[in-house]
Amino acid sequence: MQIQWFPGHMAKARREMTEKLKMIDVVFELVDARLPLSSRNPMIDQIVGQKPRLVLLNKADMADPFITKEWENFFANQGLMTLTVNSKTGQGLEKISSYAKELMKDKRNKMIEKGIKPRAIRALILGIPNVGKSTLINRLAKKKIAKTGDKPGITQKQQWIKVGKELELLDTPGILWPKFEDQTTGYRLAVTGAIKDDILDFSDIALFAIRYLIKVYPERLSERYHLDDLSVPPIEIFDEIGKKRGCLLRGGEVDYDKAAEIILREIRSEKLGPLTFEHPSDYQE
Ligand code: G4P
């Protein structure tokens, strides 16, 4: 599997981000709760620098709640504050202003000591494409804000959205590139639909998903596809699912592309329940 990314694109994204960061007090870093590190930009620490940051574990409704708790601890151990949210319904977002205030507490207290009334906290949403940036902005703005193309370089007039009395949000998010450093990251992003399906081979992605489900969610897999034996090679499971769903070519061979499409669509639409595709222990030596 080879995924191409363009250094020019990255450099431009980085420049735009630097400009945006100059205007704000805190960063809301949006990650996908189903794959919090794979959906994160590898250079995030350097990009954000010393700015206070809140990590938003978004799409929490689609993720395994037990593992989300473990991710919250993982980030806390790194000294990062997290908020677990569902930007689609707004669940969890009621705390965002108070968390931002908490992050700015020292600075604001110093201002108050000097007799200066602190102005509203200015925040920027950062994240890779598809992680839910526009959904979150719309939810916080309580109206639909035009979506910026997922391409850096589209300069737009920027405005501040008021979120309550003490928080203001930049109406255009900072778009970062995902991490394509290793194959597994690419596959995790592909399974959740975070990267375009045409970048990778569909059946490869489905086979990756099947292998993962056998290991981590065997009951969900066997229940959904009525499988009796998961000890056979994953390709045979793929084959069985294909046959069971009637994905057959003329000669009776399994149509793997079609079977893959069904499996991925069902995973993404939560037919197998909420799933998380990486665990903090995957990152421990
Ligand atoms: P982006 O700006 O970061 O690129 O992402 P965007 O908001 O466009 O969201 C990408 C997809 O993720 C959208 O689905 C959106 O509805 C969905 N989404 C965002 N946040 C959440 C969340 O917390 N929970 C769930 N379940 N979904 C979320 P879509 O299928 O592309 O669009 P639509 O059919 O929802 O309109």
Q: Choose between 214 and 117: higher pLDDT.
A: 214
Q: In angstroms, what CA-CA distances link 59 with 63, 213, 226?
A: 7, 19, 28
Q: In angstroms, what CA-CA distances link 272 with 83, 144, 210, 224, 229?
A: 25, 31, 12, 7, 18
7 has a pLDDT exceeding 80: no
Nearest CA to ligand 1 atom 36: 135
**Burial class (CB within 10 angstroms; exposed 0-12, middle 13-18, buried 19+) of 34:** buried
Distance CA 226, CA 106 (A): 56
Q: 133: Cβ below 6 Å to ligand 1?
A: yes
22 has a pLDDT exceeding 80: yes
For the stretch 149-181, pLDDT in tens is: 555 555 567 899 999 999 999 999 998 888 777
pLDDT of residue 149: 54
* Alpha helical stretches, state H, 177-217: 183-191, 202-216
For the stretch 29-54, pLDDT in tens is: 999 999 999 999 988 999 999 999 99
Q: 138: Cβ below 6 Å to ligand 1?
A: no
How much distance in Å is there from the Cα of 249 to the middle of ligand 1? 34
Q: 12: Cβ below 6 Å to ligand 1?
A: no
**What token pair was written down for 96?**
């965002």
Q: How far apart are the first and last CA of the chain?
A: 25
- The answer for residues whose C-beta is within 8 angstroms of residue 46's C-beta and 6 or more apart is none
pLDDT of residue 284: 79
Helices 218-225 and 234-244: crossing angle, nearest 10°? 30
Residue type, 251: G
How much distance in Å is there from the Cα of 64 to the middle of ligand 1? 18
For the stretch 46-93, pLDDT in tens is: 999 999 999 999 999 999 999 999 999 999 999 999 999 999 999 999
285 has a pLDDT exceeding 90: no
For the stretch 228-239, pLDDT in tens is: 999 999 999 999
135 has a pLDDT exceeding 70: yes
1 has a pLDDT exceeding 50: no
Q: In angstroms, what CA-CA distances link 46 with 17, 82, 169, 170?
A: 11, 19, 22, 21
Q: 274: Cβ below 6 Å to ligand 1?
A: no
pTM for the model stands at 0.93
Give Cα 232 to chain centroid, integer Å: 32
- The answer for residues whose C-beta is within 8 angstroms of residue 89's C-beta and 6 or more apart is 61
Q: 56: Cβ below 6 Å to ligand 1?
A: no
Distance CA 65, CA 151 (A): 32
Q: How confident is the model at residue 12 (pLDDT cuts 50, 70, 90)?
A: confident
- 8 A C-beta contact, residue 176 and residue 44: yes
Distance CA 130, CA 176 (A): 11
